[in-house]
Structure 1
């Protein structure tokens, strides 16, 4: 039968997966894609459909994750075995994945220590890999290395080495990880593409990005099978820089390498082109997202809500929202995205209803309030909220995020319509720091502010070109209008 090898392969890759968190700016924009290249986050797990109580009672995983604080894992196992139920590797596999997703690392380590100590079945390489993973997370690399040296030699193979390398990378120990990768080559152990993905992410900041081509060359030299996840990371990096040309180049390389794009790939491409106001291309990629969807992925549905709002596809938006409402639970984040989307398509009454529901039942942060009110065209209330939040200090990460940039641009548009050049320029400067002003529509909006204010600024076109933006027909039309205000 072919089923068993497939299951083993799935377990192998699941065992060496890690949350690819990014200390640099590469994943700070387009936040709804974060889980695509990683395991599911804690919040998304909490929003999964609730199982029936009868099913939960039959699950060892559920019993372990619901243990009260102070209760040992051993008590759950004793009760389980007391009911005459056996403990198999499958149960441990499911329990570990659930605990990892819920970020219950201490409980996961306790679970694996019990399995290795009590041996309800003969431990395998996968069990030792779990033990190694959570030891590194909780006690650091030195204890993980010590544990690695004590694991029986027959289990110190490809899986454990890959896990140890990723654990080192998770702690930022690049030199140690490179040394273990060298050891793996000497022993003939294949290096996982997830290791190289993590290396790429660690080198994604502007000052270290020049190292990425060498990482890709080494990946090729090690004969690592090219995977869509690597290209998705590279695509996201270009999208975060608002670099459409770079995005198209990476996607072209992906096609030349005959790596099949998945729904994540098309979501990144569609959203990047939507932010650039390239609607025809966006529609094509939205169609590709729908064709490549596999099940009801929460992140994909969220992206479709955003994209249908951008494209003004009212019927499609209502269809997606109806499907989401039919599910047992709708996430707060999805409600927030829906407020924006329905505002964009002109359904302000529905947007306000959702806003009131969020305000009364779930609550929102001041940044989210500002963004969604502005993008739903509730301008007066939004500006009042803005005045209240003028003293709000935002981190660099927040200021480079898509919600912040979209909100700021919405305010630029409002000030441009009013001819308020000073405020428009102040906000434009903030967008410039995030490289968001590469888009032509950004400069067109700024030029509109000068036109509305009846101010002639001859260097605007030159400033636009030097800023990396290309003038279009609208640009030249606005500049011609501005010439009538020449002193």
Structure 2
């Protein structure tokens, strides 16, 4: 197993050229959110003696001499900006039509939202245990809470008790799960507040953990950490702190993540696989060269990787286009007795497709399909999407026919997405209309079709669909904003896209997707619009997206296209603990030339 750590050698000399990172929703359900992450740097390799872990060269770009990570259960340090803590007491939900209720597909970065699954059972916090593909059963208590106006959950609960209805732990936990699934965190928090103040539930460790998680999501990391002081000392254990740590990771806050990690060490809390996976997730996005040190720490502390650990490592290798290294990680995982699950198979198929290894991708798809697809119908949606990635319209049609007579919502959405990707818009629309007549679709579901219109520059149809969403009373969120922004960008209306995003942020007080900002920043950069490029760059920082080389890469391009010098850009990168990779270094050479021209103009 520990040969994994030796994975840190090969890419050190190559640098990471990461492609699109896909983020996934809670409970390890894939999603269509896409985040561009081209943050690879170039690091010189060293000769390091590793003991046993992966036959050399299987992981990521790492120069251990450059790390601030103190190996051994000692500590972490980083100069990353900590501005992502939010102080928002608002209720981050959209009612019964909240976007978070979607059952979307695509993607493999389950752990980005693993902290959303910090509910009240071991199964939900253990990424090695399979989640049911179906939805949670809706509780009656949940339905009553949803019916209540946003800040009147107390009255609904009081009425529930007055009617003599059961309010046992089982009913409460089911209601909390339902609320969390739909990201109705404000209502879930009100439920906990009411239970605690009315002494209707004797709080256990996991109840405190769940409340802490809600505070972190609604009111920010500082208030969540402050809440720990009010928790009985007997419950201030590893589970509570790792929940806070996971929320730091979810907010991409490296400084706070490392500070909480160090605090856990100071408290002599045990180091777990969950905690290490959170660090891997963070460094996968923000500082890949530190991944090897996390693995070294795991080896020293005898923390065994789980299947989720391997998913992170496989995805890191895949995005670096190191297919041989990815396959070595896979073999090591199998040697440890862990067989690939459907998430890993999906991940492999996507990376093989991206690398142009279509035969290998199809082999994996056959493994997913199994001997009898009719008995294995729950994989249809996954297969439909993956065959569309390969451009196999005939295979998409074959799989769709298997489930067409009695499809699930996700089967239909997968088919809509697939036909859109294959430029068969009419087929996509027909299946969408069929689904909308059979089920009450939500804003996320509509966003699938909206994104198709955006990708095909169909502005009028996109506007009509948005009007339909408005008429249906949808409260839209980041996925829909992303589709809207791209719709207007593809129509050449970047200012309109920018305006829509700013209005959405002001109204809903939610964080837009990274790729939404980058789409607008990329357009302004292409125009050489330095003023608006800087505006979006700083908006991203204010929203919590910091310390990414891809943001600087787009910003510098704006200066290049404007033919003006980017004074102080190196110092700004250094302040964010970032250093130019090969691509950015070449950009800096170009933009530096404008300094000479500017000086020449003054002398002339």
Q: TM-score range by the shorter chain?
A: 0.5 to 0.7
**Structure 1 unaligned regions, length at least 5:** 1-14, 43-47, 375-385, 405-432, 435-466, 468-487
Partner of residue 148, structure 2:
67
Cα drift, residue 321 of structure 1: 5.0
- Over 3 Å counting, the alpha-carbon distance change for 1:352 and 1:137 in structure 2 is closer
Aligned length: 361
SS in 2 for 1:204: helix
Computed over aligned residues only, the root mean square deviation of the Cα atoms, in angstroms, reads 4.8
- Distance, in Å, in 2 between the alignment partners of 1:388 and 1:138 is 31
- Distance, in Å, in 2 between the alignment partners of 1:287 and 1:155 is 48
SS in 1 for 2:269: coil
- Distance, in Å, in 2 between the alignment partners of 1:363 and 1:249 is 37
Tell me if 1:323 matches 2:418. Answer: no
Partner of residue 515, structure 2:
397
Tell me if 1:217 matches 2:229. Answer: no
Counterpart among 332, 347, 350 of residue 268 in structure 1: 347
Cα drift, residue 92 of structure 1: 2.4
Matches for 1:114-153 after TM superposition, within 5 Å: 114-153=194-233
What does the per-residue CA deviation read over 1:6-55, in whole Å, with 9 as the maximum and x for residues that have no partner? xxxxxxxxx9999999987289xx9811564335999xxxxx9899xxx8
- Over 3 Å counting, the alpha-carbon distance change for 1:31 and 1:16 in structure 2 is closer
- Over 3 Å counting, the alpha-carbon distance change for 1:154 and 1:87 in structure 2 is same
- Over 3 Å counting, the alpha-carbon distance change for 1:22 and 1:337 in structure 2 is closer
Counterpart among 353, 367, 387 of residue 288 in structure 1: 367
Partner of residue 352, structure 1:
426
SS in 1 for 2:156: helix
- Over 3 Å counting, the alpha-carbon distance change for 1:399 and 1:155 in structure 2 is closer
Counterpart among 325, 328, 331 of residue 252 in structure 1: 331
SS in 1 for 2:229: helix
Partner of residue 15, structure 2:
none
Partner of residue 304, structure 1:
383
- Distance, in Å, in 2 between the alignment partners of 1:160 and 1:276 is 41
Cα drift, residue 208 of structure 1: 2.0
Partner of residue 368, structure 1:
452
Partner of residue 451, structure 1:
none
SS in 1 for 2:298: helix
Higher relative contact order (CA 8 A, sep 6+): 2
Q: Is the Cα contact below 8 Å between 1:24 and 1:202 reproduced in 2?
A: no
Cα drift, residue 211 of structure 1: 0.8
Tell me if 1:25 matches 2:52. Answer: no
Cα drift, residue 331 of structure 1: 7.2
Q: Is the Cα contact below 8 Å between 2:238 and 2:269 reproduced in 1?
A: yes
Counterpart among 232, 240, 259 of residue 319 in structure 2: 240
Q: Is the Cα contact below 8 Å between 1:40 and 1:101 reproduced in 2?
A: no
Cα drift, residue 315 of structure 1: 5.9
Partner of residue 473, structure 1:
none
- Distance, in Å, in 2 between the alignment partners of 1:250 and 1:321 is 36
Counterpart among 273, 276, 283 of residue 203 in structure 1: 283
- Distance, in Å, in 2 between the alignment partners of 1:313 and 1:89 is 49
Q: Is the Cα contact below 8 Å between 1:109 and 1:134 reproduced in 2?
A: yes
Any runs of at least 4 consecutive aligned residues in structure 1 with deviations exceeding 6 A, and if so which? 15-24, 48-51, 292-296, 363-366, 398-401
- Over 3 Å counting, the alpha-carbon distance change for 1:177 and 1:204 in structure 2 is closer
User: Normalising to structure 1: TM-score of the pair?
Assistant: 0.60
- Distance, in Å, in 1 between the alignment partners of 2:248 and 2:280 is 14
- Distance, in Å, in 2 between the alignment partners of 1:161 and 1:277 is 43
Partner of residue 243, structure 2:
163
**Structure 2 unaligned regions, length at least 5:** 1-25, 40-103, 118-132, 437-445, 459-486, 498-512, 523-552, 555-582, 584-604
- Distance, in Å, in 1 between the alignment partners of 2:408 and 2:185 is 28
- Distance, in Å, in 1 between the alignment partners of 2:255 and 2:248 is 9
- Over 3 Å counting, the alpha-carbon distance change for 1:184 and 1:399 in structure 2 is closer
Partner of residue 181, structure 2:
101
- Distance, in Å, in 1 between the alignment partners of 2:188 and 2:346 is 33
- Distance, in Å, in 2 between the alignment partners of 1:356 and 1:173 is 43
Q: Is the Cα contact below 8 Å between 1:166 and 1:198 reproduced in 2?
A: yes
What does the per-residue CA deviation read over 1:436-460, in whole Å, with 9 as the maximum and x for residues that have no partner? xxxxxxxxxxxxxxxxxxxxxxxxx
